[in-house]
Structures are given as C-alpha cells and as structure tokens.
Amino acid sequence: MDNFNKNIKKYIFGEPIFTDAVVQNIKPSSDDIDIVTVSDDSIFYKMSDDEIVYGLGQSVRGLNKRGFIYNSNCSDEPTHTEDKSSLYGAHNFLLVSGKKSFGIFIDTPSEVEFDIGFSNYEKLVIKPKYVDFVLYLITGENAYDIVKRFRKMIGKSYIPPKWAFGYGQSRWGYKTKEDILEVVNNHRDNGIPLDMVYLDIDYMKDFKNFTIDEEAFPEFEQFIKEMKDRNIHLIPIIDAGCKVQKGYDVYDEGIEKGYFCKKADGKEIVCGVWPGAVHFPDFLNSEARDWFGNKYKKLIDKGIDGFWNDMNEPAIFYTDEQLDYVFDEIEKYKTQNLDIYSFFAFKDLIQSLPNNKKYYEQFYHNYDGKVYRHDKVHNLYGAFMTRAAGEVFEKMDKDILLFSRASYIGAHRYGGIWQGDNHSWWSHLKMNIHMTMSLNMVGFLFTGADIGGFGSSVSEDLMARWLQFAIFTPLMRNHSALGNRPQEVYQFANMETLKNIIEVRYRLIPYIYDEFVKAVCNDEMYMRPIAFDYPDDDMAKKVEDQAFVGDSIMIAPVYEQNAKGRYVYFPDDMKMLKIISNEQIIEKIYTKGQYYIDIAIDEVVIFIRKDKKICLSDGGKCINELDWGGNLLYSFY
C-alpha cells in the first residue's frame, strides 16, 4: 500500500503501557490533531446525521454502533442482552463512515468508554479510564480501505490448521470417554461430517490444567490415537486459573518461581474458580508466559493438537477475602426481620461474589520488571494467555488449533476467538452475523459462535437456520451448556436436513479455506458488510444482515422464526445457487435491486457475484477425505 504512514497519525498521551497490538513501526506525528478533539480526559467527535460508526469487534447490537454506550472491559458476561456494555473482548477500533471516513484506535490496556451518540445522538465521546494511551487516526479512500490499513498496522491474523475448518461438536457435559465415543459414533453412523470433538472441563483431574482424569478417560493417549485414526481431533479446554494444591506441578513451580499474580502484601491472590481455590498465572511476565505456554506440550506430546482457552478475562467466582466477608456479614442477618431493605442487602451480599470489579484492584502484575495493578492492564490478560500458547506453538513444526474467550487486538496474531456464552435465541443468531463482521475488522478472522446457542434449549428450526449461516464462519462449532436440550444434530427429528446443511459446508471448504488465507495475507475481511465493496451505493449502506464472504459469494441468512425466506438487496447482478441437496441445485440470475427470496428450512442459498466464480467440491465426511479439487465450477460472467 502506498503512503502507508501518511494515512496513519499517531499521538501519545501520558505514559502508555505496551500492548503488543501494533506491529508497524509508526513515528508519532508532529502535526496538530485534526478530525477529532482531544481534551483532558476524553476524545470528541461531532457526528453528522448520515454517518455510520462501525467497529468495537465483540460487542452487542448491530453493525452500526451508534446510539449506545460501550465499555471496553473484558468481562465474563454470560447473558448477551442488548443492555450489556462489555463482553469478553476489548477491541478499541472505530470506523466512522460518511462523506469523509476515518478510523480511530485507542491503544490502552485498561477500560475505555465509548459513548457513541447514546447521551447525545450527535456526539461521539471516548473516555479512557487512565489518560495513558496511544491514539491512532487512520484515513483512506473509503471505509474498507481504512480497515485494510488498520489491519496492516496490527499484523497478520492467525491461520489455524486446515482440519480446523471442519465441523466440531462440543458440550459442557461430556464427562467420559464413552460420552465422546457416543458422539463420534452417532456422527459417523449417520454420515454427518465431523472433524473435532471438544473436551470441556470434565476431562481434567479435579479441574487441574494439563492433567487428565484417568478414571473418566483411561488410556488417554491410546484414545487420542484411536480418534485420529477415525479422523477426529480432540480439543481440550484450558482455564486461566490453576488449582492451589501442593504436589501439582503447575502450582509448585508457579509458587517457586513467583509466576502467579500477587497482592500488595506479596502473597499470591487466592480466587475461586472450578477447582475451588486457584492462582492466576501472570501472563504479562514473559518468563511466566513461556513457562505456561510450554505446559501445553504435556498434552501435545500425548497427541493433542488443538486447545480452547477459557475464563481468561479473568473470570473470578470469589476471592478468599470476599468470601470471608460475606460469611461474616450474612451471620448478622440471621436474627433480623428481613424487610425490603435488609432483604435486598442480604441478597446483594451473595451477588457481590462473582466477578466483582474490585477484585481487579487487588492484585498485581510483573510486566517485565514493572509492577502494574491488574485494572491498569486488565484487557491484556486473556490476550496474553493466548500469546503464551501461541508463542510456543509458533516454534513448533506442527500446526496447532488455538482460540480463546477473552481477547485484545494483537491476540488475533496468535489465535482465534469464539463468541462466548450466547443463548438459543433468534436475536443471537442475528448478533452472530454482526459480530463476525465486526471482529473481521479488528483482525479476528478465525471466529464463530456456539451454534444453536450455549444457554437455553434450541428449537430445530433455529438449529437449521443457525447452521445455514455458520457454514460460512471459519470456526464452526456446535456447543451448549449443561442441562439444556441435547443439541447434537442427530438428536433432532429432522436430522437429514441438518446433516445436508453441514455437507454443504464441506463442499464449500476449498473455497472457504482459500478465501480465508487470502484475506489474512492481504489484510482483507473474510466476511464483511456489503457496503464495504460498494461505498457509493446508499442502499448497500443500510444493509446490516447480508455479507460478502471472500471474493465471490454474498450471503443473506434467515434469522427469524417461521420466515419462509427474506428480502435480499443485490448491489449488482448476481446468480443465486439454491442448494437443496447434493443432487439438486437451482440457479437463477437476479439483476441489481431488491427481491423477496424464498429460502426453505432445508435449503442453503448463496449468491455468486458478477464476474466471479466458485467451485463446489464433492465434499466428504472429514477434511482428510475431502475432495479439494472441486469438479463443479459455478461462474457468473
């Protein structure tokens, strides 16, 4: 790209803490700040009526973020309703798109508030919690051009192994080897494609990272091998917190070397997560990072080649101190008449335990020689956990799958992310569409949501519609929580329909993989708003629920219950492919304009752009057996 640095202006405020987000060496600008106004504690921009504000990666609501107040603050937020200001990731990039577009990136590891026309529809006000940050202002020819410049600045996104583009099945609740075998057998016996089965916390011995519960998973190595022979990768979860237990190597070594986060008094902070009391590794300390990253090898040596990192915001159920306090206080209510005030105060006591924000002010990091209180660097914690593993994996001669729950920009170079604990709600399918595009802007190309929804029970039609969209998300994983309706596709009356949809994914994998890698290499968005390719089309700018996937395909997912189809806007002439089954494909050409398209529950519909082509392979039941050649070339010239 020409004039790369001319289009990016960098300004330093206070003493910014290094975040690892930016890889380009950009000199601070000596020009006065234009476009926005910076005051003592905030950054201000007056928005005109027609300006759209894209960005913020992982956050609720639509593609256009105007009209709400967001807060970058990595949070274990299990209910993604539209009143939530923070989710698991902190992605401080905004793209104001109007007559003159510009991008803005606030690089700081602590909280940042983005009031995007919430308090006043015309005003964009950005407030970092601490006035130590680097401000980048990015200009370019149009919105998409600005994204590309930003992406170049933050470095190439992570590319997972090829097999990670297959379909994966997961559930919090698979407890034993038999449970896993049942899942694999049911997929293989019914001819449902499958490449991965995920292991949630129950595979561990007492929820200790890098250990195996030998009773539930006897002869684990042998089992991994058996699964590999059947083309199944087992993907274990790793949690941020490490159990406090003498004799557990991670605990012993971490204590001995001083690699866990400590309180002001120099003692390790004790927090409660799955195993009860845990310590948190100090991922900001490069030695601790290297140590923890190398622990993954324990499982890799057994044949494991993929991981998902969880609870790394970090999620904290309680601290020892808060627990003591609550127990003491609760005692006082025992003899009281609990009236309206005391009852709620009593109830709030218990609710003060999980993820209390004050915990983040109670421990410290040793960030390569400098000590920082956690809240100052909070948004880096999960990102640096990904980095810990990623840096070790990069040195290995094997491709490892890695994705995380919490993230900050920069972590996109080491791994992907999943979109966290969503629900089996139609609104969350819609959010999945928006979030995937917003995450692509900030470099997280390898991403996907829990298909079918993590919380609540899924209906069969939601499952089908969700799969129809998810065949286009690079990470394609069906995951759900304990207690909900089982949601493996073979659990549903109309399994054939769901299976056919997954088969279409496999037929498209050669396309999806190529386009994904191309997008990474060229700093492009694998999935993006249609307005990005048609910056002068006013109608395209209004469309939030369609996307371009790679170079050749447009998608228009159905995300409403009982809908028999939907309106689709074509910014140009396109050819529809309606894939009803492996044998039956209907083709039809649409000219520029808006049309209602019938899309039945058992149909996958894609649109091929003018002068572009795709190949549909014959598919397969796993990536190893996939026909990569592709014998059908659908073109539209």
Using CB under 6 A, list all residues that contact ligand MIG. 172, 200-201, 237, 310-311, 405, 420-421, 454, 479
Q: What strand order describes the sheet that includes 112-116?
A: 37-38, 43-46, 123-128, 112-116, 68-72
Residues facing residue 124 across a β-bridge: 45, 116
Strands 416-418 and 401-404: parallel
Token reading at 16: 């910014």
Task: Tell me whether residue 104 or residue 240 sits nearer to ligand MIG (CB atom).
Answer: 240
| In the complex, minimum distance from the CB of residue 418 to ligand MIG, in angstroms, rounded to a whole number | 7
Task: Tell me whether residue 201 or residue 349 sits nearer to ligand MIG (CB atom).
Answer: 201
| In the complex, minimum distance from the CB of residue 557 to ligand MIG, in angstroms, rounded to a whole number | 23
CB 609 within 8 A of CB 571: no
Strands 476-478 and 450-451: parallel
| In the complex, minimum distance from the CB of residue 125 to ligand MIG, in angstroms, rounded to a whole number | 32
Classify 81 as helix, strand or coil: coil
Please report, as a single letter, which amino acid is at residue 188.
R
Task: Tell me whether residue 449 or residue 576 sits nearer to ligand MIG (CB atom).
Answer: 449
Task: Tell me whether residue 9 or residue 477 sits nearer to ligand MIG (CB atom).
Answer: 477
From the number of C-beta atoms within 10 Å of its C-beta (0-12, 13-18, 19+), residue 214 rates as exposed
Closest residue by beta carbon to ligand MIG: 172
Which residues, in sequence order, are CB contacts of 238 under 8 Å at separation 6+? 209, 210, 296, 307, 308, 309, 310, 389
Task: Tell me whether residue 239 or residue 268 sits nearer to ligand MIG (CB atom).
Answer: 239
The string of DSSP codes covering 127-161 is EESSS-EEEEEEE-SSHHHHHHHHHHHH-PPP---
| In the complex, minimum distance from the CB of residue 239 to ligand MIG, in angstroms, rounded to a whole number | 7
| In the complex, minimum distance from the CB of residue 217 to ligand MIG, in angstroms, rounded to a whole number | 16
**Whole-Å CA distances, 36 to 44, 102, 441:** 6, 10, 21
| In the complex, minimum distance from the CB of residue 536 to ligand MIG, in angstroms, rounded to a whole number | 41
Task: Tell me whether residue 115 or residue 213 sits nearer to ligand MIG (CB atom).
Answer: 213
| In the complex, minimum distance from the CB of residue 121 to ligand MIG, in angstroms, rounded to a whole number | 34
| In the complex, minimum distance from the CB of residue 1 to ligand MIG, in angstroms, rounded to a whole number | 37
* DSSP secondary structure code for residue 268 in this structure: B
Task: Tell me whether residue 19 or residue 480 sits nearer to ligand MIG (CB atom).
Answer: 480
- Over 162-221, what HEC string results? HHHHCEEECCCCCCCHHHHHHHHHHHHHCCCCCCEEEECHHHCCCCCCCCCCCCCCCCHH
Cα dihedral sign, 27-33-35-40: positive
| In the complex, minimum distance from the CB of residue 429 to ligand MIG, in angstroms, rounded to a whole number | 17
The Cα 494–Cα 602 span in angstroms is 10
Task: Tell me whether residue 237 or residue 433 sits nearer to ligand MIG (CB atom).
Answer: 237
Task: Tell me whether residue 201 or residue 401 sits nearer to ligand MIG (CB atom).
Answer: 201
Task: Tell me whether residue 172 or residue 260 sits nearer to ligand MIG (CB atom).
Answer: 172
Which residues, in sequence order, are CB contacts of 438 under 8 Å at separation 6+? 54, 55, 56, 57, 58, 59, 63, 91
Token reading at 458: 């899924």
Task: Tell me whether residue 454 or residue 526 sits nearer to ligand MIG (CB atom).
Answer: 454
| In the complex, minimum distance from the CB of residue 482 to ligand MIG, in angstroms, rounded to a whole number | 8
CB 556 within 8 A of CB 422: no
* DSSP secondary structure code for residue 549 in this structure: E
* DSSP secondary structure code for residue 444 in this structure: -
Q: What is the helix (H) or strand (E) element at residue 513, kind and residue range?
A: helix 495-521
| In the complex, minimum distance from the CB of residue 274 to ligand MIG, in angstroms, rounded to a whole number | 7
| In the complex, minimum distance from the CB of residue 431 to ligand MIG, in angstroms, rounded to a whole number | 16
- Inter-axis angle of helices 249-257 and 286-300, nearest 10: 160
Task: Tell me whether residue 145 or residue 421 sits nearer to ligand MIG (CB atom).
Answer: 421
Task: Tell me whether residue 201 or residue 502 sits nearer to ligand MIG (CB atom).
Answer: 201
The Cα 527–Cα 609 span in angstroms is 14
Classify 37 as helix, strand or coil: strand
Q: What is the helix (H) or strand (E) element at residue 377, kind and residue range?
A: helix 374-377
| In the complex, minimum distance from the CB of residue 479 to ligand MIG, in angstroms, rounded to a whole number | 6
